[in-house]
Amino acid sequence: MHAPPPSSGLHHLELWTADLAVSEPAWHWLMTTLGWRAGRVEGWELGRIWRHADGSYLVLEQSEDVRGEHAERRAPGMNHLALRVRDRELLDRVRREAPGHGWQELFAEHYPHAGGGGHTAWYAEDPHGIEVELVAGP
C-alpha cells in the first residue's frame, strides 16, 4: 500500500478578468515564455489554462460575476502572483519584451532588486491590474 503524498505546492490558481480578449494575449505570452503549456477546455470560450510541468496550472477566466474593470492589489485579497524563472537572463528578456505584450512594469527604478538587495525579481501588471512578480534564482 502506498501512503498519500504530503500536502505541498500549488494545485491551481484561478484569476478572473474583466475582458479575456484584452488580458489573454498578455498572459499567454508570459506563461508560454516561462515554459508553461497552453491548454483549452472544449466548449469553454471564456477561460484559458496554462499547465506547468509539476502539474499545477493557472486559469484565466472572464465571468459575468466579475465586479469592476480593474484589479486592485492594495485591497483585501490577493496582492500578486509570484512565479520562479530559470535565471537572470530569462528575467531580463521578459522585462525587455513585456511592454510589447501588454505588461506595465512596476518599480522599474529599483530593478532587479525592488524586493530587497538579495532578491532578484521583476514586477509588472497585466492590462487589468493583476500584478505578477517573477523571481530569478532560489
CATH number at residue 125: 3.10.180.10
Range with the lowest mean pLDDT among 7-11, 68-72, 84-88, 96-100?
Answer: 7-11
d(CA 91, CA 98): 10
pLDDT (0 to 100) of residue 53? 94
Please say whether the beta carbons of 124 and 132 come within 8 A.
Answer: yes
Q: What is the pLDDT of residues 10-53, one digit of tens each?
A: 899 999 999 999 999 999 999 999 999 999 888 999 999 999 99
Which DSSP letter does residue 82 get? E
Angle at 34 between CA 30 and CA 37, to 5 degrees: 90
Confirm whether 19 is domain-assigned: yes
Confirm whether 25 is domain-assigned: yes
Q: How many structural domains comprise the chain?
A: 1
CA nearest neighbour of 50 among 14, 20, 79, 76: 14
Q: What is the pTM for the complete model shown?
A: 0.90
> Containing domain of residue 86, as a range?
12-136
**Distance between start and end Cα atoms, the chain:** 35
